[in-house]
Chains A and B, each alone.
Chain A
């Protein structure tokens, strides 16, 4: 019984609460028991906050439960988000004693919506890296195969939802750190337009590429969650002051006449054949459903990974400068090596990279004169074995972190909204995901197409048996 509840989406849980079939306090108990049962394997949570969750759930009134789609529903946040009175470790020993004095913007919005925080989830140390490996808090594994990586850097948020420990989670996405692990774990992952969800109260990794992201089981839950956490905060220089859409209005619409760009370059190259085949099935469905596929040429991607890295590492080093001096010995080896790389990048290189980002933004924006969306695979590979260092594909050896985020990184630089969702199962028993990218602040169209794909029923995948 509890396992069935644990894998329900938020809207279904709300129906149970509204119908008096379960109380928020009982819901907390269900997920708390599952965290107790599965956290040793999944390594999803660094700091569960069960007692605080129980107190909050017990204190919710009937009126409050009717105030939002997430009222009375548990969620988790990546351990970069400040939650007042709770440790924010950032997945690092460096922050072993950092107790948050106030809530991050998104957490405050969820608190005001009476959602119940169940705790803080694991991550690649300071969000540096897409494998989710963490030598101090453990490496999150994939719910579909615990010998495989959950992916990262929002590894714990992905594992928490995939293992049925929470129905939704917050993450951050600087190069794909929400979208990629969501895809590898059969979940919905959304990186909204840069500036749509303030990053205030989130430990920074790279200020100009960081986005708050969402992980859910369904597109409808994603739309509801985005409606809650989107907004404006003047303390975040990237935050944009514009009205928040009612994203659930995008649900239930068809895709007829939507123009969907299919990249001619980069995105359908050097990928697992089964992933490419799955995307062909999605394209076929879209055409039958009335969408118009339009071949598009994205900007030259040859240097995009280098451009991203050249922006990331000096910013990360600058963000960590004081801590490196004060607590440098507490960092993990891989992040320190990355920071050392940031030290050796010249200022001219950084500025040139930022100018390339502007070129990418302008050229990608032009594409949206001719299309409403762009469709790509979410990742070129399925979840790889824990400990994998390089991935070989078509004669090219690629660092696994680069491979996991190869299709997602670019849209952190351009800032366009991008969503990943499951679209098939690989013969190795692991999820395959697609990615939809939209115009600036047009999450509505992204969600519209995503919901149509989900609603078609042709691309649903089974739950992981391990999590049951």
Chain B
């Protein structure tokens, strides 16, 4: 996976169905300064690791009803 470029995000937002994001907001994804979110590059790196983990037939989480064997 190549390193994320700011221009890539600008392209995605311009060329795919997307809300309009300002230059500052795209900058925050590439170089976070607000102390809230993980940098998008870091997130992508983690997501790439997650993608490679085989979860078999595990479905997405839904309600906790019925999930409790102690009931």
Contact = CB atoms under 8 A, between A and B. Distances in A.
B59 A306 contact: no
Contacts, number: 146
A416 B36 CA distance: 25
B1 interface: no
A410 interface: no
B12 A344 contact: yes
B59 A358 contact: yes
Nearest to A366: B69
A361 B46 contact: no
Contacts of B28: 333-334, 337, 340
Nearest to A130: B36
A306 B36 contact: no
A238 to B, nearest CB: 6
A240 B65 contact: yes
A131 interface: yes
Nearest to B24: A333
Interface in A374-408: 388-390, 399-402
Contact of A328 (B19, B35, B43, B51): B19
B53 to A, nearest CB: 8
Of listed B21, B43, B55, B64, residue having the most chain A CB within 10 A: B64
A309 interface: yes
Given A328-B20, A440-B64, A340 B34 contact: no
A361 B64 contact: yes
A237 B32 CA distance: 35
A240 B26 contact: no
Of listed B28, B35, B49, residue having the most chain A CB within 10 A: B35
Contact of B51 (A194, A307, A324, A348): A348
A193 B25 CA distance: 35
A52 B55 CA distance: 54
Of listed B20, B28, B33, B36, residue having the most chain A CB within 10 A: B36
A337 B24 CA distance: 8
Given A305-B38, A388-B35, A401-B35, A439 B70 contact: yes
Interface stretch (A67-75, A251-259, A349-357, A428-436): A349-357
A195 interface: yes
A358 B34 contact: no
B63 interface: yes
A267 interface: no
Interface in B20-63: 20-22, 24-26, 28-29, 32-38, 40, 43, 46-47, 49-51, 55, 58-63
A7 to B, nearest CB: 32
A281 interface: no
B18 interface: yes
A50 B55 CA distance: 53
B25 A321 contact: no
B57 to A, nearest CB: 10
Nearest to B17: A343
B61 A399 contact: no
A310 interface: yes
Contact of A353 (B20, B24, B50): B50
A400 B65 CA distance: 34
What 9 pairs across the A-B complex have the smallest Cβ distances?
Answer: A354-B60, A389-B35, A337-B28, A357-B61, A358-B61, A306-B46, A440-B68, A334-B34, A340-B21
Interface of B: 9, 12-13, 18-22, 24-26, 28-29, 32-38, 40, 43, 46-47, 49-51, 55, 58-65, 67-71
Given A240-B64, A353-B50, 17 more contacts: A131-B36, A195-B64, A328-B19, A333-B25, A336-B21, A337-B25, A337-B29, A341-B29, A343-B21, A344-B40, A354-B60, A358-B60, A361-B64, A388-B35, A401-B36, A415-B64, A440-B70
19 contacts: A309-B38, A337-B28, A337-B36, A339-B19, A340-B26, A345-B47, A349-B50, A351-B60, A355-B58, A355-B61, A358-B60, A359-B58, A368-B70, A388-B35, A390-B35, A413-B61, A440-B67, A440-B70, A441-B71
